[in-house]
Homo-oligomer: A and B are copies of this chain.
């Protein structure tokens, strides 16, 4: 793979400046010519930007005029229309080419496997979303079916998802707290079709449905505006911290169902604490029957999971343990009449058939807007990250914006049919893919299965104990709880990412999922600022006989040139770090022009005082002379001279100006304590942008150091940064492009040449 030069070639080192000798030796050894082609040889003039730009010719670009651009984008062709239609309705593209023989069997198996998971998960996550279970079934049908037409991912399973359901439930409970069951309820608001639910439940359904509508509309808008990139802000540690916190939320909210305790459900900041507190305070009222049924289910589910993982390759399809548990649970509950005999809470009323569409409650929108944004973005980022994994694995591409549009349509259209917010579920997607699902057909089949249950046999699940659903939810959290291991991982790899994880977790846990997410995103942004704002400052030195410059503190071989300091900060120069850049420069190089100037000023003052004292003496002497030679013309002239040299008392400023007239010899004297540094090279390699504050800082650095006789050069300034500097009026008479060098080595050579010629002229 690598070029074939060996370590021995390293020994053939040449001085960069005496290539004459070395290459002449090479010429005498013909066998070295092959090696020669594998070496790095450069000989060229020393370039500063002035020189380089004078030599190069700007390529003439004919930028498209705005009119041309508009004309181009507005041009309509049948091909363009077709491609737009295809991208909006991907089903038109893949369905006609569907290879029935090859794909159908896999899709059917996969669809059934996924469908039997949709069913129990739909019922269980409805509990999380604080709505009656049947709405979980609706949410597992309409959106899933719609996704078949609009989605671009062939393998993800759309439907109810724990985190999103939890967020929906949080909002529903916040808007309709348990306390206002009878007081704050306005019966006229509820549509007739919800009449056989408890008023609180009916109202919560409305909140959940409106939330789905709003988040769908937000996703749709983001997709149409091509804003799919918003998901990039949800970086991996953030999402993992957030979902871990969500898992804790979900777990605590399910505790009461598992234990069969009746407590209020909490939402908002510290709701986890309140939930646990409420459960603990009522722990004595635990329903033992519920707990036993729940624990048995948990054990069964865990065993099922373990078998599915361990015998993955041997099983044709994974064991659908969830539906088995639901069926057994329903059977046992009905047979033993758990509800009445043991007061075990059951799912209860599951109405048969679908509901007529209804318009969501528009007047709720202002109160749930922020939550809808959070749900829309979390939902999208979950779906798209899963879709990307499968797309990469199976070698097709997905369109992030079309995914947003698809999810938006699923949510918003689904909301008219009383479904709540959905996204892709990780566990189901993995099953759908691993059981041989090839296209969106599998998802459609799973939704049809749910439909059959809704219209035909839904009522059979009425005796299902809630504790079974709680067990299903809890066992599904296993993967998320494993994410606690991230702390160790991030501790080793990156402290900043650990901080993002911890902030996302803690904020989401205690502030609630919505504000927690916002806080975490803000924090992730701040870490980026922090990285650019507190760079590492380093003094560079040369690796002898090369053009390579490294941190002097890192390697033994690295040497500094006498009289030169090369300074590097690994960040751009802008308002938030320009001040620390200056102070680090002064500290690292050990040359502070302010201190030198102050010392010089002091020396000047002392000198001025000495002059003054000398003058006083001289004046007195002169006056004596004048007195002794009264009325002599010569004497008055001398007096005049003496007065001229006398500084005006009380106005010290004039001393400063007068000092500028002192002889060069005396001036040199003031410059002490003089440093032996003659050049300062600022490595601008890591600088990607400069703002006006940065440009001003740079200018003042150059001027300050110039005042104390140190030349500041800038090395490796990139093209865009140079354009920025030009626009910011950085270059003028004192700061020219001649101070900008193409590389550190160019700058070093130029400074050496200059210093050499300066010392020659001395």
Which A residues are closer than 8 A to B by beta carbons? 1-5, 7, 9-10, 12-14, 16-17, 19-20, 22-24, 26-27, 36-48, 51-52, 54-59, 61, 101-102, 105-106, 229, 232-233, 235-237, 392, 395-397, 492-494, 496-497, 524-526, 528-529, 531-533, 535-536, 543, 545-548, 550-551, 553-558, 570-572, 574-577, 579-580, 594, 597-598, 601, 650, 652, 685-686, 688-689, 691-693, 700, 711, 716, 718-720, 724, 727-729, 738, 742, 745-746, 749-750, 753-754, 756-757
Contacts and interface: CB of A to CB of B under 8 A. Distances in A.
22 contacts: A3-B749, A9-B45, A23-B23, A39-B45, A40-B745, A44-B545, A47-B548, A56-B550, A59-B556, A102-B652, A229-B579, A235-B575, A235-B693, A395-B598, A493-B727, A494-B727, A528-B528, A528-B574, A531-B689, A550-B719, A685-B686, A685-B718
Contacts of A493: 692, 727-729
A545 B47 CA distance: 13
Contacts of A20: 23-24, 26-27, 36
A235 B650 CA distance: 40
A737 to B, nearest CB: 10
A105 B52 CA distance: 57
A490 to B, nearest CB: 8
Contacts of A700: 392
A575 B27 contact: no
A383 to B, nearest CB: 15
Nearest to A8: B45
A237 B694 CA distance: 12
A577 B235 CA distance: 11
B529 A528 contact: yes
Nearest to A595: B397
Nearest to A598: B395
A42 B546 contact: yes
A42 B16 contact: yes
Contact of A1 (B4, B54, B396, B754): B754
Nearest to A4: B757
Contact of A23 (B19, B497, B724): B19
Closest 6 CB pairs of A and B: A235-B575, A3-B753, A57-B556, A56-B555, A3-B750, A41-B43
A37 B17 contact: yes
A44 B546 contact: yes
Given A23-B23, A492-B727, A570-B688, A232 B39 contact: no
A43 B19 contact: yes
A291 to B, nearest CB: 41
A749 to B, nearest CB: 6
B47 A39 contact: no
A527 to B, nearest CB: 9
Contacts of A745: 40, 42
Contacts of A574: 235, 528
A462 B316 CA distance: 96
A1 B525 CA distance: 44
B650 A557 contact: no
B41 A19 contact: yes
A232 B576 CA distance: 5
Contacts of A27: 20, 24
A102 B579 CA distance: 34
A745 B548 CA distance: 12
Given A57-B556, A650-B102, A395 B594 contact: yes
Contact of A532 (B17, B528, B711): B528
Nearest to A730: B493
A261 B523 CA distance: 48
Contact of A551 (B16, B719, B750): B719
Nearest to A742: B548
A214 B352 CA distance: 63
A101 B528 contact: no
A727 B229 CA distance: 28
Given A43-B14, A396-B598, A753 B7 contact: no
A206 to B, nearest CB: 31
Contacts of A56: 543, 550, 555-558
B686 A688 contact: yes
Contacts of A571: 688
Nearest to A53: B555
Contacts of A22: 43
A410 to B, nearest CB: 23
Nearest to A25: B20
A380 to B, nearest CB: 14
A705 B536 CA distance: 33
Contacts of A237: 692
Nearest to A653: B436
A5 B728 contact: no
Given A41-B43, A57-B557, A58-B556, 11 more contacts: A13-B44, A20-B26, A38-B46, A39-B43, A57-B556, A59-B555, A235-B574, A235-B693, A236-B575, A392-B700, A686-B688
Nearest to A557: B56
Of A42, A101, A554, the most chain B CB neighbours within 10 A belong to A42
A576 B3 contact: no
A686 B57 contact: no
Contacts of A689: 531, 570
Contacts of A59: 553-556
A274 to B, nearest CB: 22
A289 to B, nearest CB: 47
B43 A40 contact: yes
A294 to B, nearest CB: 38
B555 A58 contact: yes
A535 B57 contact: no
Contacts of A106: 650
A738 B41 contact: no
